[in-house]
Amino acid sequence: MLRRYEMYSLDPNASPAAVQRLTQSFLECGRFVPEVLDSAVGTNLSDAPVRLVWEHAYESPAAYQRYMVHPFHACILDRPLLADSPERIVTSNDLGAGLLGYECASPVYRLAAGVRRLVLVDLSPDRSPAAAARFDEAVARASDGVKGLVVSIVAENSMAAAWFDGVTPIAPPPRWSHVWEQGWESLAAFEGYRAEGREQWPGFVRESASVHYELVTPG
């Protein structure tokens, strides 16, 4: 499977109606493009410079490629997004997380309700599997025995550079080499964890950022 995220900062002059249309188009996408699975959105609550997050997934690269050429993608989703569209309501930002994601064997990311959090890290200059394993260990230490953490996945951010077909990198390596996707039972559970200050990244984590939001699902 391909797990995929899009994160947007919004034009402060965008009308609430236009923002709502974009939000609804993300939520309803699966009705029109059945290849789009597990759509949910959220409004970022962290201080990272993005506001609207769309999380979703695809069964396979072939499913993703069908989504890419579906008219709903170009006609509805891209209308407020593409840089040259007269109806654009999103803006550029320096988070470097406009599109990211990873491969997984099954929908281990699923969270029916609660709070989603993404920790974005850059393991450069050493993005090797060994460095990723050391990051895994740091995540295990940070999350061991934590109550309310019901989803915890560490993965290479493979989608950012392979956004065209889900497989082939066509862009330079992204700012964030890896992602730690979390699912929390509640905002209170996450805030309790955050207050403990357990995330002490070793020196090989060159930089990190995080985004979290309460999950909004279709219907």
Q: How far is 204 from 82, CA to CA, in rounded Å?
A: 35
Q: How far is 204 from 135, CA to CA, in rounded Å?
A: 8
Residues 151-170 that bind other proteins (CB under 8 A): 164, 170
Minimum CB separation of residue 59 from other proteins in Å reads 19
Where does this chain touch other proteins (CB under 8 A) — which range of 27-35, 73-81, 124-132, 139-147? 73-81
Handedness of CA 34, 35, 38, 42 (dihedral sign): negative
- Both tokens of residue 22? 């974009």
Taking CB under 8 A as the rule, does residue 116 contact other proteins? no
Residue with tokens 């997984």: 104
Taking CB under 8 A as the rule, does residue 117 contact other proteins? no
Binding residues for other proteins, total number by CB under 8 A: 19
Residue 218 neighbours by CB distance under 10 Å? 14
Residues 11-70 that bind other proteins (CB under 8 A): 68-70
- When the beta carbons of 79 and 206 are compared against other proteins, the nearer one is 79
Taking CB under 8 A as the rule, does residue 188 contact other proteins? no
Taking CB under 8 A as the rule, does residue 140 contact other proteins? no
The continuous run of DSSP H or E covering 122 comes out as strand 115-122
Of the candidate residues 17, 83, 112, 195, the single one contacting other proteins (CB under 8 A): 83
Of the candidate residues 171, 186, 198, 207, the single one contacting other proteins (CB under 8 A): 171
- Within the chain, where are the H helices? 16-32, 61-68, 71-72, 129-143, 187-196
Minimum CB separation of residue 124 from other proteins in Å reads 22
Give SS3 for 100: strand
Of the candidate residues 24, 31, 62, 82, the single one contacting other proteins (CB under 8 A): 82
Strand partners, 183: 116, 151
Residues that bind other proteins (CB under 8 A): 68-71, 73-75, 78-79, 82-88, 164, 170-171
